[in-house]
Amino acid sequence: MCEAAEREHMPDLIPLSRRSPALDAAVSLYWELYGDAERGWGSRVEAATQFERHAEYPGYRGFAAVEADEVLGFVYGYTSAPGQFYHDQLAATLGPDRTSEWLGDCFEFVELAVADDARRQGLGTDLHDTVLDGLVHETSVLTTGVENEPARRLYERNGWRTIHDSFELNGTNPMVVMGRELSEEDARPLAETVGTAGPSGSPSDRRRSGGD
């Protein structure tokens, strides 16, 4: 995902929960963009079940970008913890020292997706900043495709760095593990005005892939 110019009017960002009407639309957008290529899911139903299960994890938070009742993008994550499939796979890959460093107090940045016709307009950055805003975790981790240069550039511009190359899971395409240390700036309370979009690409100014 590469973004060049901000939208004149950003979509509303609304909470994405298991009971949100936007969740089904978010699953549809994910399936439209990626199908089963990214996670090896056999059907949209499996993907929907996974989204719903993740929404019940401790520390879950998600947002959908909605314009004229259409979901143009979404983001979500949750607290990474032992016993979660992806946490345990990452821990086995990173080893004890880096697991302690990166997964000890970690928000797992699970999914970020933007519709094709809404890309390159600042929406991906807006969603990214919103989901991280107000977190009290020390770190965040994500995975994305080794060859997904647009996504990697987006994350690198926003403070992420590669902490492990060529992570593979269940026959999926090779991924990189990226990490970001969360700062006091990230930990400030999320303002009540999330969902009232303005022209800025940063939600902080108007009051932000991988996973099992």
**Is residue 89 classed as helix, strand or coil in its secondary structure?**
helix
- Domains plus CATH for the chain? 12-206 (3.40.630.30)
Best CA proximity match to 72, nearest among 28, 132, 37: 28
| pLDDT number for residue 39 | 58
Residue 59 token pair: 């520390």
| pLDDT number for residue 80 | 99
Q: Per-residue pLDDT tens for 176-202?
A: 999 999 986 665 544 433 333 322 222
Best CA proximity match to 79, nearest among 71, 87, 90: 87
Q: Per-residue pLDDT tens for 35-47?
A: 765 555 678 999 9
Between residues 158 and 41, the one the model is more confident about? 158
